[in-house]
Amino acid sequence: MRRKQGCKGRAIKKEGAAFSCSKTEKGGIHFNKLPNIERLPNGSLPHMTPKQRQMAVKLIRNICCNYDNGNCIVLDDGDACVCVQSISYSVNCKFFRHVLLESKEGLSLKAEIFHDDTTKRCTVCSKAFQSKSNNAKYCGKCAEEVKKKQKAAYARKRRAGVEK
């Protein structure tokens, strides 16, 4: 089986907590210390729109160390088992929820799926992002671009006022 870069039997660090992976008797990988997925007040799992699901599948294919040609290594018990997160509209994989969505690539998807008070929309690309302040207007990627443009405009304005 081919595996992507990622876990490969070593500890995964996340915000001070170590999620260790160890081989189980059946050959799959078992992730210790992953908390359960939060449920909605009515007891159901969080749901995704078709666009969010498409983004989730892309994220899983690109960075999940347990994804192998459509199959999940964690659920593998000798027979190939399809990755349940890639075919579902609800968030039902602990590894997806607590590791992939917390990664740099998954933060905007996390903000869209789990709405809260700190979720805002970027004024440039209209992606959802978690804001750390009340006057944040741009996501991380667009903030860098806007800052460069504003700096260049300020420098042009300053140079135009200088006489030689």
Strands (E), 12-77: 12-14, 17-19, 21-23, 29-31, 67-68, 71-72
Helix (H, G, I), strand (E, B) or coil at 25: coil
- Mean pLDDT computed over every residue of the chain: 77
Dihedral in degrees, nearest 10, Cα atoms 22, 25, 26, 32: -30
Q: Which residues pair with 130 in a beta bridge?
A: 119
pLDDT tens digits for range 120-163: 888 998 888 877 788 889 988 899 999 999 999 999 999 988 65
- Region of poorest pLDDT, from 3-12, 50-59, 69-78, 141-150: 3-12
Amino acid at 78: G
For residue 60, is pLDDT > 50? yes
Burial of 51 from C-beta contacts in 10 A (0-12 / 13-18 / 19+): exposed
Task: Report the alpha-carbon distance of residue 161 to residue 64 in Å, rounded.
Answer: 53
**Mean local confidence (pLDDT), 93-102:** 86
